[in-house]
Structure 1
């Protein structure tokens, strides 16, 4: 009888991680079947998608409230299916608000559960550890410092490294990336990544574009490239670009690269990061990807006043436990790259910090060295380690 694995991933970063985990599972068990909620990276591995991942792609509590009826409908459907025909194991990839609730229900009914990508309890709401202990049979964590946290709390855990560390080359090829994108090899290039969610683009894109306008006054030859996860996000961004025009800016999706020899399996953002001199980026997984490509960056993030109030109420915190927000800084325990958040995220301050990232060769050398060491620390055979742990949990239940 083949191993049947339930999976839920709710956004592009989770889809990317899950796609590699499915590949690891298939390498160990050719008959494994994976089903649930996922995106194109998972579907490329014969994943049976009952619902598309964008059914869960929301930003925090405000967006979740707006979409509550459809979210509840999706939740009830997958719960009903898996309670009626339990999988060998359920694997929730990130999306903790959705997945931990589902994992709790399934585990109570006797299905073993694995959660991949630990919630950032080291930054916000440590008390969630109690819900995790009740809901999760085994944690798979991406970062070495997380293993100690869960072990101390009596939760079975495996540090599997970060799969992106194995997917991104240790030595990026800027020349090849620029050739793919049609960018002059000698150009100064700024990659602008204002996020993959509508709310992020709405709040960050105007600031990022105004910063780019300031930078173009310093260097009229500066080339700005903006990757977008899909056509919908590009349309949202272009509407804002019309209000804050940046001469020569290119906004591209993966579709734009297909005719130029682009790798359909790699996110378009990777080519842009690889080609860049420096990156202006929204806090999130993209900061880690930028670090793995060894590029100097400026990290920024802005929450609406309403969202800040809800987060403070929900977490009981005004700020994270740690002084850093960007993943590269969290991992290095230092402000290796600038973070400009909330009121500090002005176009002028963003432009000033980004100009240094674009022009300071000594800074670039320091950042490359630190990010190379970080890359080596995160490099494990993540698909194999995760697959082994998942199948062992499934086998133990059997």
Structure 2
């Protein structure tokens, strides 16, 4: 069969790649094209456009780039028409993918959604639109099944694909040596995100606190295909080590972490690394987001647990003094122990690996059935 998969960011690219591998295991004749990145490409997907081209963060950035987004949407629609897949599989990235879903619904392409848009966080009414447009939704958090049930929409809970990604990771025993990192000094990992705005606003704040912790070494999780000037804040500081494309190896060695809000907060927790979550946006983006948000937390760790497990420093609270204070509290002592205990509960809540395989099996099963 033919599959067209769309992932619009780094984490979606990773999870889409694992899904593609499982689809190929079930369907050895599978032809897979789509939009994504290096992980999907490595999994044998013919990537027609890289997710970096669509890395617009915040309401204002989207508005400024609407002509480009519309052009990308037309391009994607034409590629789907030309390929005529048996299934279009949308992975997270709600703003763009829901527009694709409208097109697919109108033109009769069978459409599946893996990793729900966070409608429970922003605009709960969009659940009705998803119910109308998406043939089958595969959700990755336990509370999402209950959320959609309130709208009369039955979805499949498949577990969390981060568990798959972590389970398949093989720790590089030479990581420290290869990156000239001192094995005798504890590491504080800095995960500043993958979007230009995140690196511009958050990396300088993270780097600024490094001199206050002389007994620790600060290591930034970089991404090699991003422009090098985005990492200027750390490249100009000889005390900061920058490593590329090795986030999981970094986390497997880290004592603590400063993490930009996003999927990385959950990954950090599942590696058992105490963390402080940080986030900043432009003034307009921040106030719009604050006005429409339907959740009490921004980090996935706290959202899944339904309470504060990790501290969140947002906007004006994200400053060197507050970062220093909260980071100091999780380096040792009771707060660190409580956080690690809560991480154990989080792992139990998310369940065992296998989300990619379960999702691929369900897609294959549904495709055998008459729509």
Taking structure 1 as reference, are residues 307 and 300 closer, same or farther at Cα in structure 2, changes over 3 Å only? same
- Report the Cα distance in structure 2 between the residues aligned to 1:367 and 1:174, rounded to whole angstroms: 26
Indicate if the aligned counterparts of 2:167 and 2:353 stay in contact, CA closer than 8 A. Answer: no
The one of 290, 304, 307 equivalent to 2:285 is 307
Corresponding position: 1:248 with 2:239: yes
Taking structure 1 as reference, are residues 111 and 170 closer, same or farther at Cα in structure 2, changes over 3 Å only? closer
Taking structure 1 as reference, are residues 38 and 295 closer, same or farther at Cα in structure 2, changes over 3 Å only? same
The TM-score with structure 1 as length reference comes to: 0.86
Indicate if the aligned counterparts of 1:177 and 1:274 stay in contact, CA closer than 8 A. Answer: no
Corresponding position: 1:26 with 2:33: no
Taking structure 1 as reference, are residues 21 and 395 closer, same or farther at Cα in structure 2, changes over 3 Å only? same
Corresponding position: 1:281 with 2:279: no
Q: Deviations over 1:272-300 (max 9, x none)?
A: 11111100011001101101101100001
The TM-score with structure 2 as length reference comes to: 0.92
- Corresponding position of 2:124: 126
- Report the Cα distance in structure 2 between the residues aligned to 1:290 and 1:116, rounded to whole angstroms: 22
Indicate if the aligned counterparts of 1:228 and 1:234 stay in contact, CA closer than 8 A. Answer: no
The one of 106, 112, 115 equivalent to 2:113 is 115
- Corresponding position of 2:37: 39
- Report the Cα distance in structure 1 between the residues aligned to 2:135 and 2:169, rounded to whole angstroms: 37
- Report the Cα distance in structure 1 between the residues aligned to 2:108 and 2:118, rounded to whole angstroms: 27
Indicate if the aligned counterparts of 1:187 and 1:221 stay in contact, CA closer than 8 A. Answer: yes
Q: How many residues align?
A: 370
- Corresponding position of 1:330: 303
- Report the Cα distance in structure 2 between the residues aligned to 1:85 and 1:173, rounded to whole angstroms: 38
Indicate if the aligned counterparts of 1:296 and 1:368 stay in contact, CA closer than 8 A. Answer: yes
Corresponding position: 1:298 with 2:292: no
Gaps of 5+ in 2: none
Taking structure 1 as reference, are residues 152 and 319 closer, same or farther at Cα in structure 2, changes over 3 Å only? closer
- Corresponding position of 2:223: 229
- Report the Cα distance in structure 1 between the residues aligned to 2:166 and 2:91, rounded to whole angstroms: 20
CA RMSD in angstroms, aligned pairs only = 2.3
- Report the Cα distance in structure 2 between the residues aligned to 1:363 and 1:181, rounded to whole angstroms: 31
Residue 84 (structure 1) shift: 4.8
The one of 318, 326, 343 equivalent to 1:371 is 343
Q: Give matches, 1:1-398, under 5 Å.
A: 3-169=1-167, 178=176, 181-213=179-211, 215-216=212-213, 220-238=214-232, 240-241=233-234, 246-254=237-245, 268-309=246-287, 311-312=288-289, 318=291, 320-358=293-331, 360-378=332-350, 379-397=352-370
Could you say what secondary structure the match of 2:291 adopts? coil
